[in-house]
A and B are shown apart, each in its own frame.
Chain A
Amino acid sequence: MYDFSQLTGAIDAALHRSMTPGWALFTELVIIGLVVLILYALVGLFLVYLERKVCAFMQNRVGPNRVGPYGIIQTIADLIKLLMKELIPIARADKFLFNLAPFVVIIVSFMALAAIPFALGLQAIDLNIGVLYVTAVSSLGVVGILLAGWSSNSKYALIGAMRSGAQIVSYELSVGLSLLTVIVLAGSMQLSEIVASQADGWWIFKGHIPAFFAFIIFVVASTAEINRGPFDLAEAESELTAGFHTEYSGIKFAFFFLAEYMNMFIVSALGATLFLGGWMPFHIGHWEAFNHIMDFIPPLVWFLLKTFFLIYVIMWFKWTFPRLRIDQLLTLEWKYLMPLSLVNIVVVAFITLMGWHF
């Protein structure tokens, strides 16, 4: 497998040769920032298009097919339209918080994206508390939502924001506990190490029963975390409130919209990394020949395949199921998912101690 740290090492060496260490560091930061920014924008645009196409095919129709071949420029056209829209100011709204809220949400998802390992050596930040960092940073997203609802000066935007906030905070517990399952199995929170530990098989297979349940809980809980699918009551138009982003228009609305799709990507990437092996190809134990064949497909492709598989599943949820009511949603978490996660943690701890996993 190609190790990207050779490439990054070479760039680093080149910069250090031609500039002072301070400037070299600064240039590296700028390069990383630009790469992440461009990645964010591209993936976001692509995901919006993907959603529309997936949704269309499930609904027995074609989806965007006019703007560009197979409609691939559709999202850019929508973006241009949003940029040209009037930014409607709100009377008696807290202007600073009102403008700050979309930025909080976007910056938070940026920060989470930076920690995801895309391939061997291709990771912006590799902290030894990687998983904790990602979950902590995503939790800050709630702040952005509550700020948006509060500063809109609209009673029903506030109620929508509170509902979203309650939903996200509740489901974070289940997400955290299911991630904890893999951390216990792998013995580390560092994302690159978790991926490396799956060199002889993905945790969803090695960790058998508890890892499988943790995976299911993770997929359900993270769909609720990102306010999607059957859990999108707070922003669904068939209820009386259009949610926390009612009062936003134009580019600020585009930020919330984009952040939602990127959160979907981050959550899928996290699931793929922890449960499905990240960029690690599909290896079975120590079957060298088989593993060697699997290695022919580049790790980056593996990663993207797994992530987009999870994204497809999340989209599938949204277009199939009716919505849950807010009280049914919270009941699901507190009475069903949470106890199940706790039991799962105990089981996996026991299994790890006894060495009963692969």
Chain B
Amino acid sequence: MSEAVIRDIIVSESDDYIINMGPQHPSTHGVLRLEVSLMGETVKSVTPHIGYIHRGIEKMCESDSYQQIIHLTDRMDYLSAHMNNEAVCLCVEQALQVEVPERVKYIRTILDELTRLSSHQLWWSAFGMDLGALTTFFYGLRDRELILDIFEESFGSRLLHSFNTPGGLMHDVHPNFQKSVREYLKYFRKKLPEYKQLLTDNVIFRQRTEGVGVMNREMAISYGVTGPSGRGSGYSCDVRKIAPYSAYPLVQFEEKLQTAGDSYARYLVRMDEMWESMHIIDQLIDNIPAGDFTAKMKPVLKLPPGEYFQRVETARGELDVYIVSDGNKTPYRMKFRSPNFSNLFVLNELSAGGKIADLVAISGSLDLVIPDIDR
């Protein structure tokens, strides 16, 4: 049902009791081992151990062409798969100074926001389930299935589409795409208030998350916590506002901030972001310009020697792609600055001094996806 299973209990030489939470969790967090040092009920420190799903993506990129790299990036933060793809495509397009058609920009942004919506739905489901409200898992996933159906209709794949390619998209979207998305928005606008009734306004939920894991703005900046986790502490870090890309300069939307910095604030930011995502899609879905779905690109891409840096806002924070090219068809060095890597290591600061039950609430509110940490 829910997440932590004791793997082993060891007593160290000191008086601390050390428990391992993980590496296998039945819920969505991924393969992460948290070594929790306890004094009675209180957590003294949490040491994360990662590397269980390290696949050497950055090394593999050094021997793959740029089109092949897209498929590797899907598997990093798989819940924001589209944004990962887009980051690499934008970086390559920036390097080659290729201008993609307007249609591509609109579709990429719409897909970005749909992916963000589906990622937040899964987060909400898992967060409720971790705290014991087992029914939220089904409600969130029920609504997410409809988005995945839209994806499947257009791309053939529900989660890891690899639909972007440098220069544009692999093929055009399904003719039903606009209609399906509009219908979905109408449906989900009625469902999202239910989420508020079920969890947001629930007294028990608020008691479990308010005041738990407080992170102030300075801590968020110095630990590099971006995304909704950072915005919950009042740190305005939305890359869509700082360095807009694709069709973001054309849309009006607000960056939602909360100042409390506790788990409840991070929760509220994500709920608000779901509304904003629907607002953004609304502005774009009716105006997709006709045109090509890709610019003309050579089959073999060779980036001019130099360094290129692209920033993108995934559902969890700022993903940056750094390419060092020496003129060959594969990059010399490819670095992915993943948001979850920075978000994870603030866990120790936030949960020290709290209870074990609070650790669950905090790690749920940080919304970590482990394959993104390990790459």
Please say whether chains A and B are actual partners in one complex. Answer: yes
Q: Decide if B5 is an interface residue (CB 8 Å cutoff).
A: yes
* Known A59-B134, A230-B204, A323-B131; further 5 A-B contacts with Cβ < 8 A: A59-B135, A59-B137, A60-B138, A322-B132, A323-B208
B357 and A322 form a contact (CB under 8 A):
no
With A155-B9, A237-B5, A240-B6 in contact, do A322 and B135 touch (Cβ < 8 Å)? no
Q: Decide if A156 is an interface residue (CB 8 Å cutoff).
A: yes
Q: Decide if B62 is an interface residue (CB 8 Å cutoff).
A: no
Q: Decide if A324 is an interface residue (CB 8 Å cutoff).
A: yes
B21 and A321 form a contact (CB under 8 A):
no
A240 and B356 form a contact (CB under 8 A):
yes
Q: Decide if B198 is an interface residue (CB 8 Å cutoff).
A: yes
**Least Cβ–Cβ distance between B113 and chain A, in angstroms:** 25
Which A residues are in CB contact (< 8 Å) with B173? Answer: none
Which B residues are in CB contact (< 8 Å) with A323? Answer: 131-132, 204, 208, 357
A238 and B132 form a contact (CB under 8 A):
yes
**Least Cβ–Cβ distance between A156 and chain B, in angstroms:** 7
Q: Decide if A351 is an interface residue (CB 8 Å cutoff).
A: no
Q: Decide if B142 is an interface residue (CB 8 Å cutoff).
A: yes
Which residue of A58, A156, A236, A319 contacts B2 across the interface (Cβ within 8 Å)?
A236
Sorted from nearest, which 7 A-B pairs have the closest CB atoms? A323-B132, A238-B2, A59-B138, A322-B131, A322-B133, A322-B132, A325-B357
Q: How far is the CA of A233 from the CA of B41 in the complex (A)?
A: 13
Which residue of chain B lies nearest to A238 when distances are taken between CB atoms in the complex?
A: B2
Q: Decide if A6 is an interface residue (CB 8 Å cutoff).
A: no
Q: Decide if B128 is an interface residue (CB 8 Å cutoff).
A: yes
Q: Decide if A20 is an interface residue (CB 8 Å cutoff).
A: no
Q: How far is the CA of A169 from the CA of B188 in the complex (A)?
A: 45
Q: Decide if B130 is an interface residue (CB 8 Å cutoff).
A: yes
Q: 11 A-B contacts, Cβ less than 8 Å apart?
A: A55-B134, A59-B138, A156-B9, A237-B4, A238-B1, A238-B3, A239-B356, A321-B202, A322-B199, A324-B204, A326-B41
Q: How far is the CA of A347 from the CA of B21 in the complex (A)?
A: 50
Q: Decide if A328 is an interface residue (CB 8 Å cutoff).
A: yes
Which B residues are in CB contact (< 8 Å) with A326? Answer: 41, 357
Which residue of chain B lies nearest to A246 when distances are taken between CB atoms in the complex?
A: B6
Which A residues are in CB contact (< 8 Å) with B358? Answer: 325
A325 and B355 form a contact (CB under 8 A):
yes
Q: Please provide the chain B residues from 174 to 199 with a CB less than 8 Å away from any CB of chain A in the complex.
A: 198-199
The interface bits of chain B over 223-248 (1 if a CB of A lies within 8 angstroms of the residue's CB, else 0) are 00000000000000000000000000
Q: How far is the CA of A195 from the CA of B175 in the complex (A)?
A: 68
Q: How far is the CA of A94 from the CA of B312 in the complex (A)?
A: 60
B6 and A156 form a contact (CB under 8 A):
yes
Q: Please provide the chain B residues from 118 to 133 with a CB less than 8 Å away from any CB of chain A in the complex.
A: 128, 130-133
Which residue of chain A lies nearest to B27 when distances are taken between CB atoms in the complex?
A: A238
Q: Which residues of A pack against B, CB within 8 Å?
A: 55, 58-61, 155-156, 230, 232-233, 236-241, 318-328
Q: How far is the CA of A279 from the CA of B301 in the complex (A)?
A: 82
Q: Decide if B205 is an interface residue (CB 8 Å cutoff).
A: yes
Q: Which residues of B pack against A, CB within 8 Å?
A: 1-6, 9, 17, 19, 21, 36, 41, 128, 130-135, 137-139, 142, 198-199, 202, 204-205, 207-208, 355-358, 360
Q: Which of B1, B3, B4, B205 has the most CB of A within 10 A?
A: B4
Q: How far is the CA of A236 from the CA of B360 in the complex (A)?
A: 12
B208 and A319 form a contact (CB under 8 A):
no
Q: How far is the CA of A61 from the CA of B2 in the complex (A)?
A: 19
Q: How far is the CA of A325 from the CA of B354 in the complex (A)?
A: 12
Q: Which of A58, A240, A318, A328 has the most CB of B within 10 A?
A: A240
A321 and B9 form a contact (CB under 8 A):
no
**Least Cβ–Cβ distance between B309 and chain A, in angstroms:** 40
Which A residues are in CB contact (< 8 Å) with B138? Answer: 59-61
Which A residues are in CB contact (< 8 Å) with B41? Answer: 326
**Least Cβ–Cβ distance between A336 and chain B, in angstroms:** 12
**Least Cβ–Cβ distance between A316 and chain B, in angstroms:** 10
B139 and A240 form a contact (CB under 8 A):
no
A328 and B135 form a contact (CB under 8 A):
no
With A156-B6, A328-B207 in contact, do A236 and B132 touch (Cβ < 8 Å)? yes
Which residue of A155, A240, A319, A324 contacts B134 across the interface (Cβ within 8 Å)?
A319
Which residue of chain A lies nearest to B212 when distances are taken between CB atoms in the complex?
A: A325
With A60-B142, A233-B357 in contact, do A322 and B19 touch (Cβ < 8 Å)? no
B9 and A58 form a contact (CB under 8 A):
no
Which residue of A55, A241, A322, A327 contacts B204 across the interface (Cβ within 8 Å)?
A322
With A321-B204, A324-B207, A325-B208 in contact, do A238 and B130 touch (Cβ < 8 Å)? yes
Which residue of chain B lies nearest to A232 when distances are taken between CB atoms in the complex?
A: B132
Which B residues are in CB contact (< 8 Å) with A238? Answer: 1-4, 130-132, 360
Which residue of chain A lies nearest to B206 when distances are taken between CB atoms in the complex?
A: A322
Q: How far is the CA of A59 from the CA of B142 in the complex (A)?
A: 10
B132 and A240 form a contact (CB under 8 A):
no
Which residue of chain A lies nearest to B358 when distances are taken between CB atoms in the complex?
A: A325
Which A residues are in CB contact (< 8 Å) with B205? Answer: 321-322
Which residue of B5, B135, B207 contacts A320 across the interface (Cβ within 8 Å)?
B135
B128 and A58 form a contact (CB under 8 A):
no
**Least Cβ–Cβ distance between A83 and chain B, in angstroms:** 23
B2 and A237 form a contact (CB under 8 A):
yes
Which B residues are in CB contact (< 8 Å) with A241? Answer: 6
Q: How far is the CA of A248 from the CA of B358 in the complex (A)?
A: 28
Which B residues are in CB contact (< 8 Å) with A240? Answer: 4, 6, 19, 21, 36, 356
Q: How far is the CA of A36 from the CA of B41 in the complex (A)?
A: 42
